[in-house]
Structure 1
Amino acid sequence: MSKRIKYTDGEIGEVKIVKDFLPHPRELLLKDDLVKVTISLSKESVEFFKSDAATAHVPL
């Protein structure tokens, strides 16, 4: 294993506190306009996509 770190009572020096400049995580999200779509597929098509998803290990 790696060596243990030994801490000493050394001097840190001058410390400067800076204002938080990172945006809130919610502000980092991309805001896309959502469009709801309804489609009709045959049972054969649905079974094909389900089997294809299973071979690609995609959860249903």
Structure 2
Amino acid sequence: MSAKIKYTNEPLGDVKVIADFLPSPAELAFNEEGVKVTLALSKKSIDFFKAEATKNHTQYQRMIRRLLDAYVESHSANAKTGSNL
């Protein structure tokens, strides 16, 4: 790495600007209050989440929690806009 980098003033070509899709650090750092519940789920569902969690190197309970949060978020947004999706 002893060679110097020589910069030129050439056109960049076909450059596309993409929208910022990353969450802000504040959104990543939230610690939402958790509530423990007892819930009976089917063996089929638990086996599925355990297998998927193993494949993705995560916890199956975390996957289920995120699924429920996404469902609530989707339906909360629909309730605000009046959509029935």
Which TM-score applies when normalising by structure 2? 0.32
Which TM-score applies when normalising by structure 1? 0.43
Highest relative contact order (Cα 8 Å, sep 6+), 1 or 2? Answer: 1
